[in-house]
Structure 1
């Protein structure tokens, strides 16, 4: 006998099937995303960023734009061609005149404009170098911070393992009546706190992986190939001479040259424009020789024109020259300010490096070894019943805090090295 299904039963079956299909799609999509995930070294991440980042593409297009603009430096404007017909000479209505004229800026305008355009091309090239330096700095920052987060994740997993065993031990003691509920609850709370921190770190790892993918202009997730957080060595002296290689300073210096050339262009445009022309016309009825023979429509007369276009109102152009001079002074002031700021940043970063280096040396010297010894001895003592849960928990927390502080100091040291490399323009 066939079973009859109600509308509700049919609806439930449809919902169940739909959920199963969606779950299958999600699993397949997840597997595909994992398959598409790429693992990169720091050098590979930098190389792909410099090749695919949209800021680099925009900087390259700006160079091409300025190169095309440079080709307009010799632009003399449009040639004026005029045709005239009518009674401009006599009663004859069929006289005609063809005039071709050209206005040409004073020659110094071309030389100064060409110099300005060359400096603009060079400025765009320096600006691209600034962009590359900034992107390399950002990639190194993100990559090394990911190394730090992975190290923190491993430390928390180790701490979770210790607390898991601690929870099991306190639970056994509680069930055998050797301890109170407070010890068991405290152990579980501490483990849950570690699990919460671990979840936060794992979320941060995903965030920084996404940041790295954005810098690389990657369409799929990116993971780092390196897994060990190690000290990044500083390969340059701490004196401030290193900042002379910073591409931003070269760019600002180039802006000074651009401002100087802009003033030269403004000054050159004060000079008069040159004007030349040629005309060819009929003068029907006009004597063409001493015998009195009159010109017909087949007789044409020609000549040329030469002139100067002199600015009668010097005020606007003079104001442009003064404005260009003020702009040049402003650029010079900005350059000097940037030098002062960059020098201060270098000195501050150098002090940060010295401070962080001293801290890392402290932990590598004895603190890390002592932390390992504390963990080992406290574990043995707790298992043998020589110390209670409070002493054991304090010992574990102190040892883990030492290791966490070491990771923080090592990350700070690496970030200070990366910032010094950025200020020195090292790619």
Structure 2
């Protein structure tokens, strides 16, 4: 009997074995994307560039060479080398080391952004794969129901409305099924492009990420310090602080040393050296540089405090979303899925016994399968909120 064949399909489709394929894990996708991404390579080169500049931190002015006639009787050569106050060079060196730290923090931000993108994309691939599998079951079932309805209408066993309704429902589900396949292929193509993988890939099944339970609503202010953007501003503060020390040391007298014969040719060699100091008479310019450096530090500090306020609000929102999505997942696991299965089972029994027609049977199945889809969406939304929370807290 046609009704019985449909029920046999419903029971057997859930037991189909999965095809053995090579699975790309989330961690593998992240590591491959980090190795393949050009922005990460650029950030690494910026760190290297700042490290290379470390040797130029102790930069001496070029020596001055002259050929002149100080007495008017003959020409003689001279050389003079000037120096900043020694603390200038030590502060320049420390400042450049802090600049290396800034480049490293910027690299970490680039890495965190890419990790977030890959994790979210991988999650979407898991969701679309799960959706394709569910819609495949519906699509195959509804095609059988449609064909059965057409045959029964031609045999005069059902009316035209039931046949049309069965055809319409199949068309809707088939369209959604084809859309989900297209979406799944597009997401996996993005993953392959970002990871540099040439072959086709499949992802792990969609599961619930419970690594964040329980979920605090109000974030710990110290915990926000792990956020890479906060760490970047902290590093920029260290740069600004070191720049203040550098600008202060530049206001100190400099030194000069040279060799020059200002007497006759037979002047003793030890009388041909000269020593001197540079006097910072134009103190106003040094004072302005020091004041500007202090203001820069205040600007960065205010920016960091503002960022932490904004992050706190975002973390509170992310925690609230996690809790709401977790409640939704718990509902479907404890009640929703069980009720959906009861609807399917009861509807199948009534359909086989002839107590309901095609229209009622398909409407009941639509409602039940809609619950399964909402459960997949709840798991996807919950996992995405966890990824967002981890990104804000610097835990990716």
- Scaled to the shorter chain, the TM-score interval is 0.7 to 0.9
Structure 1 residue 232 and structure 2 residue 193: aligned? no
Structure 1 residue 205 and structure 2 residue 189: aligned? no
What count of residue pairs does the alignment treat as equivalent? 372
| 2:3 aligned partner | none
* Cα gap change, 1:52 to 1:310, in 2 (>3 Å): same
Counterpart Cα distance in 2 of 1:413 and 1:71? 50
Contact persistence 1:66–1:117 (CA under 8 A): yes
Structure 1 residue 397 and structure 2 residue 366: aligned? yes
Residues 391-418 of structure 1 show CA distances to partners (whole Å, capped at 9, x for unaligned) of 1222011001111110000101111112
357-366 vs 414-423, which moves further: 414-423
| 2:12 aligned partner | none
Query: Counterpart of 1:71 in 2: which secondary structure?
Result: helix
| 2:330 aligned partner | 361
Contiguous gaps of at least 5 residues in structure 1: 1-36, 289-294
| 1:64 aligned partner | 48
| 2:253 aligned partner | 272
Query: Counterpart of 1:275 in 2: which secondary structure?
Result: strand
TM-score (normalised: structure 2): 0.86
Counterpart Cα distance in 1 of 2:76 and 2:271? 9
Structure 1 residue 89 and structure 2 residue 66: aligned? no
Counterpart Cα distance in 2 of 1:301 and 1:272? 25
Counterpart Cα distance in 2 of 1:245 and 1:180? 67
| 1:123 aligned partner | 102
68-77 vs 144-153, which moves further: 68-77
* Cα gap change, 1:124 to 1:237, in 2 (>3 Å): farther
TM-score (normalised: structure 1): 0.80
Displacement, 1:181? 2.8
Residues 258-301 of structure 1 show CA distances to partners (whole Å, capped at 9, x for unaligned) of 111122222322333322211136736xxx6xxxxxx9xxx979
245-254 vs 74-83, which moves further: 245-254
List structure 1 segments (4+ residues) > 6 angstroms apart after TM superposition.
none
RMSD: 2.4
Contact persistence 2:321–2:385 (CA under 8 A): yes
Displacement, 1:191? 1.4
Q: Aligned match of 2:62 in 65, 78, 81?
A: 78
348-357 vs 183-192, which moves further: 183-192
* Cα gap change, 1:236 to 1:137, in 2 (>3 Å): farther
Counterpart Cα distance in 1 of 2:161 and 2:215? 54
Displacement, 1:183? 2.5
Contact persistence 1:97–1:282 (CA under 8 A): no
| 2:142 aligned partner | 163
Contact persistence 2:262–2:272 (CA under 8 A): no
Residues 293-337 of structure 1 show CA distances to partners (whole Å, capped at 9, x for unaligned) of xx9xxx979512222333444444433222222211110011001
* 1:126-205 paired onto structure 2 within 5 Å: 126-205=105-184
| 2:201 aligned partner | 223
Counterpart Cα distance in 2 of 1:83 and 1:202? 82
| 2:24 aligned partner | 40
Contact persistence 1:66–1:120 (CA under 8 A): yes
| 1:113 aligned partner | 92
Query: Counterpart of 1:98 in 2: which secondary structure?
Result: strand
Instruction: Please tell me whether Structure 1 or Structure 2 has the larger radius of gyration of its CA atoms.
Output: 1
* Cα gap change, 1:301 to 1:48, in 2 (>3 Å): same
Residues 190-222 of structure 1 show CA distances to partners (whole Å, capped at 9, x for unaligned) of 212222212222222122223323432x05255
Contiguous gaps of at least 5 residues in structure 2: 1-20
Counterpart Cα distance in 1 of 2:374 and 2:158? 33
